[in-house]
Amino acid sequence: MAEDAAAAAMAAASLSDDLEPATDRTRIRSILADGAARAGERVVVGGWVKTGREQGKGTFAFLELNDGSCASNLQVLVDAAVHPLAPLTATGTSVLVEGELKKPPEGAKQRVELRVDRVIEVGEVDPAAYPLPKTKLTLENLRDVVHLRSRTNTIGAVARIRHQLACATHRFFDENGFLYVHTPIITTSDCEGAGEMFQVTTLFSHAEKVEKELKENPAPSASDIEAARVVVKEKGDVVAQLKTAKASKQEITAAVAELNKAKENVSRLEERSKLKPGIPYRDDGTVAYENDFFKRQAFLTVSGQLQVETYACALSSVYTFGPTFRAENSHTSRHLAEFWMVEPEIAFANLQDDMNCAERYVQYLCKWLLEHCREDMEFMVKNYDKTAIERLELVSSTPFQRISYTKSVELLKNVTDKKFENKVEWGIDLASEHERYLTEVIFKKPVIVYNYPKEIKAFYMRLNDDQKTVAAMDVLVPKVGELVGGSQREERLDLLKTRIQDAGLPLEPYEWYLDLRRFGSVKHSGFGLGFERMILFATGLENIRDVIPFPRYPGRADL
């Protein structure tokens, strides 16, 4: 055992000899949190220069350094004797420096600064070419440099808020006994029944490959194949003659090898003769998806809900948290082609249980941001939405109002102080203006609207006894309107079949889903929270394209 340990230590030592020494870097957030208490400590700090300026007639420079760990910058003082100053001061320059933390002079706004005595690394920037100047760019302009926009204060703050909301999501569900399930991104079923799905196929790339291949090496003709078959016959005759003549084993083996090569050549030629340019079609004119990668039509998922239900019907409380996709040609500030959804599913739960879980989850998220993202939220208040923190405090501490869809329509129809762009009548899908009026004007707090008309909701939602509505609910919040959509699922096999057919969908792709009702059916409920909408609600930003790292929308799929 001792010899094994010694050998392992020697192997590790020899490996480390080939590598650069590790850099024990200190994050700026921890330095600023402790402030002057860390004065006198030596640290290595890395980051990007927000602003830099030479002082004292070029004898030293001040750098405002940020490493993304927090919104605030660390002031760094570099002497010209330590390193040439010009390459350090341009906005966007990256530096890795070592020095001693000092308490700044009396009257300075900083509580601590770094006096550099060694510049370890520099990533220089050409100020004339750098697309992020010191002057403020609009969020719309930043979408044209999506690969660099994370260096700005706003997108950096959004990234930290997004991270904390993800942490809070996993923490909440773990604390409440949920299991995290990874559902597939590629699916053969349409959860929403809207048909706005991205198709996953290799038919086009395969057709291009075939076309290129045939251009470089045309398909063999019938005469080519017949000639190859003649060769096979000739090689076969040779083998037969050798066996009759009782030739040596070596001669027969060599002849059999030649025969096999001839047969393989015929097989290759026959396969190549079947190659046809373009997409394969059946005789009836439909696409032959049996030639596709999955042997059938497949799509990017619009929701992980249907799949996660399978785990809820075995493990009770589960959730999925991942990307979803909609091929909706929408250019509004509330739509993306790729976005993230948090979708819990609870067995043995009715609509009331569903609403209770959604309310607790949203409140948990708001409390978490107030406790863990105060600096970034204050940045949002200062620069974008003065009521952002107030809104989080309101939602986190106020019981949500619960009201039926029918009652909410009655209230909205009686509104006289505002003219809605979308007419209010029973049977409509409430628009954002209606949802916000309920939360911001009538109730002045979050609202859960439940029991929606069945015609405007998905097939999997449980039909109520009135045969007109389904056990659906939406959580509405100030600023964004609908934040959460959920329902009790239809657990009755015959009714679910009817709902699928009424939606104009084929039963075959949903047979596995119907099995959940055939074998040990159970009442269960769930909801989906649009993660980007939650970030919009928290930050007060106006466009959903600014709260996801790499926005995908019609005409744009950068990086």
First-to-last C-alpha distance (Å) of the chain:
51
Task: In the chain, list all ranges with CATH 3.30.930.10.
Answer: 157-199+297-546
Find the largest Cα–Cα distance for the chain.
110
Would you say domain 157-199+297-546 falls under CATH 1.10.4000.10?
no
User: What CA–CA distance (Å, rounded) separates 211 from 276?
Assistant: 8
d(CA 513, CA 189): 10
Q: What is the pLDDT of residue 206?
A: 83
User: Residue 522's pLDDT is what?
Assistant: 96
Q: What is the rounded CA–CA span in Å between residue 259 and residue 361?
A: 71
Secondary structure (H, E, C), 193-229: CCCCCCEECCHHHHHHHHHHHHHHCCCCCHHHHHHHH
pLDDT of residue 283: 83
Residue appearing with tokens 């004065």: 39
pLDDT (0 to 100) of residue 81 = 96
Measured CA to CA in angstroms, residue 503 lies from 194, 264, 348 at distances of 9, 51, 26
Say what the pLDDT of residue 438 is: 97
pTM of the full predicted structure? 0.88
Q: Cβ(239)–Cβ(252) under 8 Å?
A: yes
Q: Which CATH number fits domain 28-130: 3.30.70.20, 2.40.50.140, 1.10.150.650, 2.60.40.10?
A: 2.40.50.140
The residues of the chain that CATH labels 2.40.50.140 are: 28-130
Those residues with Cβ within 8 angstroms of residue 338's Cβ, 6 or more apart along the chain or in another chain: 323, 324, 325, 548, 552
Burial class (CB in 10 A: 0-12, 13-18, 19+), 302: buried
- Full pLDDT tens readout for the chain, 559 residues: 555 656 656 655 555 667 777 778 999 999 999 988 999 999 999 999 999 999 988 999 999 999 999 999 999 999 999 999 999 999 999 999 999 999 988 877 889 999 999 999 999 999 999 999 777 789 999 999 999 999 999 999 999 999 999 999 999 999 999 999 999 999 987 766 555 899 999 998 888 887 888 788 888 888 988 998 999 999 999 989 998 988 898 989 999 999 999 999 989 888 888 777 888 888 888 998 998 999 999 999 999 999 999 999 999 999 999 999 999 898 888 889 999 999 999 999 999 999 999 999 999 999 999 999 999 999 999 999 999 999 999 999 999 999 999 999 999 999 999 999 999 999 999 999 999 999 999 999 999 999 999 999 999 999 999 999 999 999 999 999 999 999 999 999 999 999 999 998 899 889 999 999 999 999 999 999 999 999 999 999 999 999 999 999 999 998 8
From the number of C-beta atoms within 10 Å of its C-beta (0-12, 13-18, 19+), residue 476 rates as buried
